[in-house]
Every structure is written in structure tokens, then in C-alpha cells.
Amino acid sequence: MEKILITGIEIGHNKIVTLIGEIQDNNIKIIGIGKNRSEGINKKGIYDLESIRSCIKKSITKAEKMAKHKIKSAYLSISHEKIKCKNEIGILPISGKEIKKKDINDVIYSAKSVKINDEHTILHVIPQEYSIDKRTGIKNPIGLSGMRMKAKVHLITCHQDIYKNIKKSIEKCKIKVKKLIFSGIASSEAVLTNEEKKFGVCMIDIGSNSIDLSLYHNGYSIYNHVIPYASDLVTSDISYAFSLSYKTAENIKIKYGCTTIPILEKIKNNNVLDKKGNIIKNVTIQKLIEVIEPRYIELLNIVKKKIIKIQKDLHKNGTEMELKKGIVITGGGSKIKFLKECAKKIFLTQVRIAIPKDIQDKNKKTYDPIYSTAVGLLKYVIKNKSFKKKYKYKNFLKSIIDKINSWIIR
């Protein structure tokens, strides 16, 4: 049987990740990984198309070499402060007839036909639940009957310029973009359980230049948001406080960084070393924590205030949103030591630091929070069955060709 291969590409402000996955019985096996630094992009968007194209190409080439497979198309993640979301309702008269797939498509179309910002394009239309007359909370209305059907949907939109430029950067590499997926949605697919989505959870993906928030309730996405600053602020603080280069500051943040001072009781050596093993003067682990901890507390408090505002806004619209499963944190910025303990004090609820789940990776390289978005792209494709139709067509065509060949051979 033909292999089913799919590719996900994450274009971040500091890194580009390309993953090639093989689908096996609705599971994903990672067969190609390409990681490269990114240039020509910042939090405002792409400012040098050729630079980012070159970096993407290097990432793609590494993944292709490992997988021994040429990439022709890919699913692409996107995150930017100009990504917005809203919950809408579509209404469709059904006049007592049995509901079919076309009716669901029509009511969803009705919901997404609301006026959005003229400069935006729709990334996702996510059905939340349906109601038929006075019956609410219906997940799958096919086969049911009534007079009127409503659909609650979650719309995620993106500024058209950001959308077009990110898409163009991939197409410049002669790769067809199958779909752009909000990175918060992708990361959620990689790290959240169905139980967490059902009972209420907030996924927080801490990147270098932005934090993606995705809130789930009753099994569906209820709100998504991008906070336009993140762990790069911590690196900048270290660089400024100790008069170090940005690169050195990033290295010691990763190696020595902590978000809480009590760890000092377990530290035998308070020195901080550079990559060559030399002691960095005037920098100790204690001083480092004193710089890192306040900034992480500030970032987490920004997230907390946003969650509270979202809950209040949803309450005004008649939706109660409890985070019974607490907070799940992922992304490169989640790797700082003792973040879980720090976050618990801020959010006053259960906190989990998450890595991608339910994947096969022989080298276990992608079992790391920095790969959550890229892995999530592949899992999103599987969940939404985006590959099946084309694959079946290929097999059908192949079977006809094989049959013709067998006649010729005879």
C-alpha cells in the first residue's frame, strides 16, 4: 500500500521547523525533521522575503534528506497579533425534514457569512454545537428533525497581508500551501487531551515573540488570542542587566534560567559559564533568577488578566467558562526551570507543562515543547481527514493503471 505522507511547516520568529509525518492507522510517525533559524521576519511580519525563503528552504531540505522524500505540499502554521476570533450563530429553517450533511454545511455557511473586518480573511470555521428548536447542546444533528436549526461556530480570522506574505514565503520554495492553521489551534491538538477540552482548559504556548492562548470548553474551541510578546523579553532583560550579547543571554537563559529563587538551596555552584566553560563575571545564578522571575511573573499575569476578561465577556453572552482542567503550558518558553511552580502561584489552579503526545518518533526528538506547533499541524490534518479524499483518488487511479498494464502484459 502507498505511504500517506504529510508535511507541516512552522515559521517562527526565531526558528523554522519542518516535519514530515507518515500516517499509520490515524497515528503519526515522524520520518523527517528540519530545523533552521529564521531571518527576515519579526513580530510585525515578514520584512525580507528572500531571507525568510532561504531559511525555509534550508529547513525543508533537512527534512527531505532525513525522510528521503521530496515535499510538494505542506500545511503551514500562522501566529500574529492581528489574528482575531469571534463566536457567531447561523440559523437555517428545516421545516420538519430530516437533517442531512448539506443542511449542516448551509447553517455553518450562514454563521460565517457575518461581516468581518474587510482587511481580514477567515482561517478557521469551527463548529461548536447545534440546536434544533428548543433542544440545545447537540454535537451531531444528522438524521434529526425539527423546524429550525442553529449552529454556534467559532471564527478565527487573520489580516490578509500577513496571510498572503506567509503563504508567499512557502510558495517561493515551490511548495503548495494546503492550508494555513492558527498555531494555537495546532499546539492544542498536539498537547491537549479530550478530557481537558471537555471540562475546560486554557492552552498557553509561550514562543519567542508571542504567546498563543486557546481556551476549550465542552470539547470545542471557544476563544483564541495572541499576546504580542513572550520569552524574548526575558533574553533582552538578561542582555541589558549584565551587558551581554543577545546570543550569550539566550544561551545562559536556556542553561541556567529559573523562575523561582528557592532553588538556590540546592545549588552548589552559583557561577554562570559561557559556551567555552569560562566564568561570566558579575553574573551568578541568583542574580539571573532575580532578572528572570519578575518578567515571567509579569507575562503570566498578563495571560491571567486576559483569561479573566474572556470569561467575563463569555458570561455576558450567556456562556459560563470554567477551567476545571486548569492551565496547560507548552512552547519553547515553557522549558524554563520551575515554571510550573511559578504558574501555580499566579493562576491558583492546576498547571501542566506539556510536550507533544500520541506520536511515533524513533529518535524522540519531537518529544519537546518547542515542537508542539509543528507536530500539532500534522495531528490537525489527521483529525480533519484533510488527506483522505486525495489519497483514495490516487489509489483508485493507480488500480486502473495497474489493471490496464496487466491487460497489456497478457
Strand-pairing partners, residue 98, are 145
Residue appearing with cell numbers 502484459: 409
| Tens digit of each residue's pLDDT (9 = 90 or more) over 174-192 | 999 999 999 999 999 999 9
Would you tell me how many other CB atoms lie within 10 Å of the CB of residue 292?
25
| Of residues 226 and 25, more confidently modeled | 226
**Pairing mode, if any, of strands 148-159 and 83-93?**
antiparallel
Mean pLDDT for 81-108 is: 92
Cell matching residue 136: 440545545
Cell matching residue 247: 546570543
Could you tell me which of 134, 74, 57 has the C-alpha nearest to residue 374?
A: 74
The predicted pLDDT at position 404 comes to: 46
Alpha-carbon gap, residue 41 to 37, rounded angstroms: 11
Give the model's confidence band at 277: pLDDT under 50 very low, under 70 low, under 90 confident, else very high.
confident
The predicted pLDDT at position 319 comes to: 80
Mean pLDDT for 259-274 is: 71
Same fold, 83-159 and 232-294: no
398 pLDDT higher than 70:
no
Domain ranges of the chain: 83-159, 232-294
Centroid of chain to Cα 26: 19
Amino acid present at 264? L
Query: Is the Cα torsion angle 393, 396, 399, 400 positive or negative in sign?
Result: negative
Are the C-beta atoms of 181 and 7 separated by less than 8 Å? no
Centroid of chain to Cα 18: 14
Q: Which residues contact 329 (CB under 8 A, 6 or more apart)?
A: 204, 205, 206, 339, 340, 343, 351, 352, 353, 354
Are the C-beta atoms of 166 and 180 separated by less than 8 Å? yes
Alpha-carbon gap, residue 350 to 287, rounded angstroms: 29
Q: Kindly report which listed range (73-82, 221-230, 314-323) carries the lowest average pLDDT score.
A: 314-323
Amino acid present at 157? T
The predicted pLDDT at position 267 comes to: 63
Cβ neighbourhood burial of 30 (10 Å; 0-12, 13-18, 19+): buried
Query: Is the Cα torsion angle 103, 108, 114, 119 positive or negative in sign?
Result: negative
| Tens digit of each residue's pLDDT (9 = 90 or more) over 295-353 | 999 999 999 999 999 999 988 887 888 999 999 999 999 999 999 999 999 999 999 99
108 pLDDT higher than 80:
yes
Percent of the chain whose predicted confidence (pLDDT) is above 70: 91
The predicted pLDDT at position 409 comes to: 44
CATH topology of domain 232-294: Actin; Chain A, domain 4 (3.90.640)
What spatial distance separates the first Cα and last Cα of the chain, rounded to whole Å? 24
Give the model's confidence band at 389: pLDDT under 50 very low, under 70 low, under 90 confident, else very high.
very low
CATH topology of domain 83-159: Dna Ligase; domain 1 (3.30.1490)
The predicted pLDDT at position 39 comes to: 93
The predicted pLDDT at position 44 comes to: 84
The predicted pLDDT at position 392 comes to: 41
| Tens digit of each residue's pLDDT (9 = 90 or more) over 9-29 | 999 888 999 999 999 887 899
Give the model's confidence band at 266: pLDDT under 50 very low, under 70 low, under 90 confident, else very high.
low
| Of residues 93 and 275, more confidently modeled | 93
The predicted pLDDT at position 396 comes to: 43
